[in-house]
Structure 1
Amino acid sequence: MTLAVVPSPWLPAVLAAGVSFVAADAWRRFALHRQLLDAPGPRRLHQQPTPRGGGIAIALVLLAAAAWLGQGVAAFFVGLVVTAGAGLVDDLRNLSALPKLLLQGLGALPLAWAWPLAPELLGTGGGFAAALLLVLVLVNFWNFMDGSNGLAASQALLVGVGLAGLTGLASPAGWLGLMLAAACLGFLPHNLPKARLFLGDVGSHALGFAVAGLSLHALSRSDAGFWPLLLLPSTMLLDAGLTLLGRLLRRQKVWQAHREHLYQRAVAHGWSHSRICAVYFAWSGLALLLACCLAPASEATQAVATLAWLVAGAALYFWAGRFWPRRENLMESVG
């Protein structure tokens, strides 16, 4: 049974932020007691052992709010449990790359089945495969980008606000997007400016899954166009995607941990976590405004503007990389 009526969002949003804050604090105390800590290391940007797994608070808020998605709620709920659960297992006892990827794929399956990507163009099978790939990309890219205080959660917050703005709060995806933003807002005081708690894989997996799932839901209902939705996570896609491409071209093992993302290189060259978070937030905020401005435009205009934005972002990535070059002694992968 699914709920067809979307409730007024403001009181639930405040409640979501409060629950996220309290649940994250409770998890921090539990993690300290159980010594579930991320220790400093060659690929880490922090200097003190810090509790991990705090993103379980965001995952719990999303699971509770998912009831208002309507059709496909079971796919979102089950997929989030499996995907975030894979991250939680990794936070608790370390999970190797292949089993984690297989669990991520298992979690993506019901979502891709419920809301295939552009089936009218790609066909049923092609739409299913494209949706599956989208979920895996966003889950892993959010995981890759979760290495600096506040970065992953603040970017998901902006995507949630963008979904609410593009699809409207009367839309299930827009309403849940607001809950996503509220949950991230509740978590952020634990992670920024000083990190007393990390999202962990459970958090980054939940955020990437939620961004993918809500985007697919919005597209399936024609609540928003593809190109404006692509703009919302474009900052994460550019940094993670271009970094991954560079590692592939250098024939490096892309599944191994490293410190080659642009934000990691900036920190290695002396930028603070807060400054990096603010710069990325500002750039994504501009992308959000562009997406909202493009919403009433023709699809051709949306496509041209979005591609121009991505080209500009790629140019900025390579320009900034000249000031924050790779340091071979800091960038070596670890197992």
Structure 2
Amino acid sequence: PDRRHAHGRPTPTSGGLALIAATVAGVVALLPGAGETTRDLALLLGLAGALGLYGAADDVWDFPATHKLLAQVLLALAFSLWVARIDVLPLAPGVRLELPAVVAVGLTTAWLVVVVNAVNFMDGSNGLVVGANVLSLAGLGALAALAGADPLLVGACAVAATAGLGFLPWNFPRARLFQGDAGSQFSGFLIGGLAVLLAGREPTAPLFAAVAALPILTDVLLTLVDRTRRRRPLFHAHREHVYQLWLDHTGKGHAALAWRFWALTGAAIGLGFAIHSAPEGWRFGLTLAAAGVGCLLWAVLRRPLRADGSRPGG
């Protein structure tokens, strides 16, 4: 326990190793007779697993934040160069932007790093991120099935979601075990990478994944923007995310927060499917509109609680 964490007693952080092992074992069991994405999925698992193992070491030795970021960038860059990347953006009806290779690599690398850090930063309350990841993986798996993607991709999403469900009782409602950086970084990289792999079949899959993850992405990115505006150091630990302020000042517990956050995630996934049902050319604009709604909701939720613990006018 310390000033940044929301718990008052020592708790093991090694649960992420079980998540990694279960996910890898489950996907390997699906490989015999698998289709066209076998190589890409194997490489994704390897890179995500490597980041997870780095996270496990970080849980023990607490590496500097800049070292962690460098590891994320290098592994995300390796994925973008050797596995898959986002190379087409459907921007408007009849408008498809073909990205130059260097732009596609940069965009994919940035996407993976953002998703990994968003999941990692939000993993501070019992069950909150684990449950949200399960829902996002289930949504991605359903999207893959609807898009007619390789059944191996659908199976990988199902396996990873099931691994999260297996871990959840250890972390929710009472935290007997945390997934630590091992689990959060592995899961973030895997979810982001699965969305990129699915983009080969369904170009707007990363847009769906971004909408599904809006509750996580909005809180993380806007909190960083707010800290930048107030000239607070970005690499220092803090308790200024909305979910942290909510825990600190509402008097309600982790379970109440998790149920609310899961409901928001479920609503975001439903919105993602609604956007996906629109013509392809409209999906980018609708995703931007959804992001705008997410920003507005963040401001509304955060307004009653300030980072210094005071309420407006107090």
- TM-score using structure 1 length: 0.81
Q: Distance in 1 between matches of 2:59 and 2:306?
A: 31
Report the Cα offset of residue 214 of structure 1. 0.3
Residue in 2 aligned with 1:272?
A: 253
Report the Cα offset of residue 259 of structure 1. 0.2
Q: Distance in 1 between matches of 2:272 and 2:289?
A: 13
What do residues 282-324 of structure 1 show as CA deviations (whole Å, max 9, x unaligned)?
Answer: 1110111122233232124323432222222211111111222
Report the Cα offset of residue 162 of structure 1. 0.5
Q: Please point out which of 149, 152, 164 is paired with 2:141.
A: 164
Report the Cα offset of residue 223 of structure 1. 6.9
Q: Please point out which of 115, 139, 152 is paired with 2:129.
A: 152
Judge conservation of contact 1:160–1:180 (CA < 8 Å) in 2.
yes
Residue in 2 aligned with 1:297?
A: 278
Q: Please point out which of 73, 77, 85 is paired with 1:105.
A: 73
Unpaired segments ≥5 residues, structure 2: 32-36, 89-96
Report the Cα offset of residue 97 of structure 1. 1.5
Residue in 2 aligned with 1:54?
A: 15
Report the Cα offset of residue 274 of structure 1. 1.0
Q: Distance in 2 between matches of 1:234 and 1:174?
A: 22
Indicate yes or no: 2:84 matched with 1:118. no
Judge conservation of contact 1:54–1:203 (CA < 8 Å) in 2.
yes
Report the Cα offset of residue 170 of structure 1. 5.1
Report the Cα offset of residue 260 of structure 1. 0.3
Residue in 1 aligned with 2:224?
A: 244
What do residues 1-35 of structure 1 show as CA deviations (whole Å, max 9, x unaligned)?
Answer: xxxxxxxxxxxxxxxxxxxxxxxxxxxxxxxxxxx
| Count of aligned pairs | 290
What do residues 161-181 of structure 1 show as CA deviations (whole Å, max 9, x unaligned)?
Answer: 111111118533322111111
Q: Distance in 1 between matches of 2:268 and 2:127?
A: 18
Unpaired segments ≥5 residues, structure 1: 1-39, 330-335
Q: 1:193 to 1:326 in 2, by over 3 A?
A: same
Q: Distance in 2 between matches of 1:305 and 1:103?
A: 33
Judge conservation of contact 1:190–1:196 (CA < 8 Å) in 2.
yes
Q: Distance in 1 between matches of 2:27 and 2:159?
A: 9
What do residues 87-117 of structure 1 show as CA deviations (whole Å, max 9, x unaligned)?
Answer: 0111122212222222222322332121111
What do residues 146-203 of structure 1 show as CA deviations (whole Å, max 9, x unaligned)?
Answer: 0111111111101101111111185333221111111110001011111011110001
Q: 1:272 to 1:184 in 2, by over 3 A?
A: same
Q: Which has the higher contact order (CA 8 A, sep 6+)?
A: 2
User: Which amino acid in structure 2 is aligned with residue 301 of structure 1?
Assistant: W
- TM-score using structure 2 length: 0.86
Q: Distance in 1 between matches of 2:142 and 2:41?
A: 21
Identity %: 31
Q: Distance in 2 between matches of 1:80 and 1:312?
A: 31
Judge conservation of contact 1:109–1:132 (CA < 8 Å) in 2.
yes
